[in-house]
Structures are given as C-alpha cells and as structure tokens.
Amino acid sequence: MGHALLYIGGVILFVIGIALSIGLHEFGHLVPGKIFNVKVTQYFIGFGKTLWSKRRGETEYGIKAIPLGGYVKLVGMLPPAGGSGPEGEDVATRPTGMFAQLVSDAKRAEYEHVDAADHDRLFYRQPVWKRITIMISGVATNLVLAFILFALVFMAYGVREPSMTIGAVSQCVKVAKGGSDPGPCGPKDPLTPAAAAGLKPGDKVLSFDGHQITDYWELQNRVRAYSGSAPTTIVVKRGDQQLSLPITPAPESLPSLDDPAKRVEAHFIGVSPTFERQGQSLGYVTSMMVDQTGATLSALGHLPQKLWHVARAAVGAEERDPDSLMSVVGAGRVAGEIAAQEENSVGDRLATIALLLGSLNLFLGLINLIPLPPFDGAGVATALVEAVRSRWARIRGRPDPGVIDSGKLLPVTYAMAILLLLVSAVLIYADIVAPVSIS
C-alpha cells in the first residue's frame, strides 16, 4: 500500500510540475505581451474542455482538461491578407479552395472582436524586436527554469562524490581485481598494499608520496602513476591521530580511466572511498546544461530513427531502449517509480524528479525554437525575415514590403499539429504496452 501511494504521489508531483512548466512558458509570452500593450484575450493551460476560467479585464484565464500544452491568445498573430488597412477589410471574401477557406475563416475569427481602438495593439503591428521578445520569452522561461532546477539539485542539494575517507579496504589482490566470482581471500592469497599497510575503513587520506591530497581523483591518479617498487608513505587521519604508514602500490592490469573497456598497466593499493554529497559550482551547472542541450539536440536530430524504434518496441518487434523517447505518460511512470524507491532517501528521490522536470523544460525550450508553426521559432523566424526584407528594400530604395502573411502558413500548422498528434499517440501507446522502467 505504501509503495502504491508513493508511486501515485510521484506521478501527481510530476503532473503538477508539467502544468507549472507549461503555465510558466505561456506566462513568458503573456508578460511581455501585456507590457507592450498587445491585446491579449485568453491565457489557458491545457486544451479541450474548459475546467475553470475567470476573466480579468480583457483577458480570460483558465485551465482546460488535457494538460498537453497551453496558449496565449495574442490578437493579430494573423495579419489581414494585405497587411494594411482596417483590420478585416483585406480578408479574402471568396476563398477558392479548402486551405483558402481555412485561412479566411481563421482571419475572420481573429478580428471578430477587434475595433478601431485596438488598431495599434495588434500583434503584427508591433516592431520586430517586440514580436521577437514576446515569442522568445516562452522559450527563455523554460530554459531559465531548467537551469534553476539543475542549480537547486547540483548546487543546493549536491552530487554524490567520492570523499577522502576510505570506505572499504580489499584484503587480497584477487578481491581487489574483482571479476565474476573472486571468492573469499585464502591464507595464501597476497594482501593488497592497503591491507598490508594497515589502512582501515574510516581513515581520511591526507597525503600520498609526499603530496598533499585534495580529492579522491588526485589520490587515484597519483597511485596509478606511481613508479618503482620501493615503499612510499601515505598519511591518514584516524580518529584524533595522524598516522604515516609505509605502502608499496602494486602493478596490475586495470581498466583505463578514459575507456573502461580497455585495460592498462597501472598501480593500485586496494581501497574504495565513501561517497558524500557535495555542492557543485555554477560552472558545473552550466557544463551540465551544455551537455544536456547537446544530448537533446542530438535526440531531436535523430527523432525519426528513435520514433521508429519506439514503434517497433510497441508491437513487440524489439526491446524498448531505456534511453528512448517517452511521452508525458512514460515520464510520469518513471517519476512514479522514482518516488517509490524506498531504498533511496526522500531527498534523493525529489532531486531525481527535479532533474527529470529540468530535462523536460530544456526539451520544451529547445523544441520550441524549431522555425515551423506551431512552435515559437516560426514567429521568430517570420519576424527576422520581415526585418531582413525591410532592410533590403530600404537599401535598394524600394517601398517597405510590409508584414508577411503568416496565414499562408496555416496549412503547415495543421499538418504539423496532425504529425505531433500521431507522434504523441505512438509514444503514449508504447509507454503503456512497452514502458521504460528504471527498476
């Protein structure tokens, strides 16, 4: 019962995190829109049936039933057909095809509640820099939120790092070398250098071979690089005592630190460290953001191949890759499994869920940079093209060509929306029948 409650709690926590992430993304559009006095009629989290809404001023705020997105209605996203004249006058009145009819209907709906007082408040009439600011602010919000979540985990909560305190001492060489089943140490098995020197769990290493040691990795590197067969000295703190113990690192074939699949000749002493949580620097967080950004961009670049393998896993043609794409359903299941891992501390579980939400926000931010509707990148790209086109016309002494009729991109918007629904359906189905599991 307790396991189930923890699982459900993890799912609920993740869903709340998603809703907040979506809400903050849209809030990122809302705030500059309000600051620049653009007419904003709706701010909603979710799609589908309205569960709750409240009107404040000219804007209706609310929550809808399907928490898979959200939107802010910035009036004037679709300029009239000619891009000039009173709003609505240039909208085509005799569409000649299905898409033309869709564009015409969308534009009529866009300007249904627009009057003369709103003329200068329409989105398409704003300067390019204002439009770019409004569109990019949602992306920036997700990226900042991802950074904050990573910083909270890595800087405030910390990362488990090996400390200078010895956690275990291998008694004989064959146990230190490991293997599938080394068995217990026998009376004839040679002792490890650490055991022969009398090192004990709980000893804190201060120096090795005359060099002060500041972290475990330095100790490991100095031991591995030790040359010769003469004894050296390792200084440790044991309780209130400081001990200088003679020790002779032994040569052995060990896994390479750069590539564990390769083995190299190096020295060892036969100790392993304890692990402690240590707060990391701002540079560490930045490095992690850069690495995660690269991994996310790589995943987006290989989206068709990854989706193909997920689809094959969904029909039982192959095993589901633990690193495969997931829908919010799959991510929610993972969050539930994380929350139910009672062997880990509450802090560890919350930190892992926070990192999951951080990765989700990073993904949301980056995918919205795609310069195709309905992503925010389409609005940014359109504004940039307008700016370049206007500048080029000015250089050539030509009239300003005006705004781009983004209504012509509505067929692309509908096609992308259908594609996103299909992708979501495949991922959700796969997450139900062949879920990614961390247990």
What 8-state DSSP symbol labels residue 152?
Answer: I
pLDDT of residue 96: 55
Q: How far is the C-alpha of 15 from the C-alpha of 42, rounded, in Å?
A: 23
Single-letter residue type at 188: K
Q: What is the pLDDT of residue 159?
A: 93
Classify residue 310: in a domain, yes or no. Answer: no
Is residue 48 domain-shared with residue 166, that is, in the same domain? Answer: no
Output the DSSP codes for 360-377: HHHHHHHHTTSSSTTSHH
CB-count burial class (<10 Å; 0-12, 13-18, 19+) for 238: middle
Number of domains in the chain: 2
Task: Count Cβ atoms below 10 Å from residue 428 Cβ, excluding itself.
Answer: 17
Return the pLDDT at 62: 94
Instruction: Establish if 226 belongs to a structural domain.
Output: yes
Rounded CA gap, 133 and 34, in Å?
Answer: 12
Do the beta carbons of residue 425 and residue 327 sit within 8 Å? Answer: no
Same domain? 165 vs 148: no
Element (H, E) at 72: strand 59-74
In a domain, residue 319? The reply is no
Check if 26 is active-site. Answer: yes
Domain finish residue from 249, 278, 307: 278
Q: Are residues 111 and 171 in the same domain?
A: no
Same domain flag for 148 and 20: yes
**Domain assignment of residue 340, yes or no:** no
Q: Which residues of the chain have pLDDT under 50?
A: 83-93
| Domain identity same for 266 and 408 | no
Q: Are residues 109 and 175 in the same domain?
A: no
Q: Which long-range contacts (CB under 8 A, 24 or more apart) does 141-144 make?
A: 141/24, 141/25, 141/27, 141/28, 141/365, 142/21, 142/24, 142/25, 142/28, 142/361, 142/362, 142/364, 142/365, 142/368, 143/361, 143/362, 143/365
- Is 41 a member of any domain? yes
98 with 129, same domain: the answer is: yes
pLDDT at residue 156 in the model: 95
Q: Do 18 and 359 contact (CB within 8 A), yes or no?
A: no
Domain boundary residue, one of 278, 303, 334? 278
- Does residue 295 lie within any of the structural domains? no
Q: 165 with 216, same domain?
A: yes
Task: Scan for tokens 């990573």, then name that residue.
Answer: 150
Judge contact between 48 and 66, C-beta under 8 A.
yes
Q: What does the alpha-carbon distance between residue 49 and residue 37 come to, in Å, rounded to a whole number?
A: 29
22 and 146 together in one domain: yes
Closest CA to 80 of 69, 94, 90, 93: 90
Rounded alpha-carbon distances, angstroms, from residue 181 to 189, 243, 262, 348: 15, 34, 20, 31
CATH number at residue 217: 2.30.42.10
Question: Same structural domain for residues 54 and 148?
Answer: yes
DSSP code of residue 323: T
The CA distance from 30 to 42, in Å, is: 9
pLDDT score of 89: 45
Residues 118, 260 share a domain: no
Query: Which pLDDT does position 90 carry in this prediction?
Result: 46
CB of 124 closer than 8 Å to CB of 79 = yes
**Candidate list 26, 87, 110, 337, residue with the active-site label:** 26
Structural domain contains residue 92 = yes
Q: What is the pLDDT of residue 400?
A: 87
* Owning domain of residue 188: 160-278
Rounded distance between C-alpha atoms, residue 362 and residue 374, angstroms: 18
Dump the DSSP string for 207-245. Answer: EETTEE--SHHHHHHHHHT--SSS-EEEEEEETTEEEEE
pLDDT at 376: 94
Same domain for 255 and 367? no
- Within 8 A by CB and 6+ apart from 3, the residues are 340, 342
Q: Determine the 3-state secondary structure of 86 from DSSP.
A: coil
Domain stops at, among 278, 308, 328: 278
Diameter of the chain measured on Cα atoms: 97
Nearest 5°: phi and psi at 60?
A: -100, 125
pLDDT value at position 88?
46
Domain assignment of residue 303, yes or no: no
* CB-based burial label for 11 (10 Å; 0-12, 13-18, 19+): buried
Q: What angle do CA 136, 142, 147 make, to 5 degrees?
A: 120
Say if strands 271-278 and 159-169 run parallel, antiparallel, or are unpaired: antiparallel
So what's the pLDDT on residue 252?
85
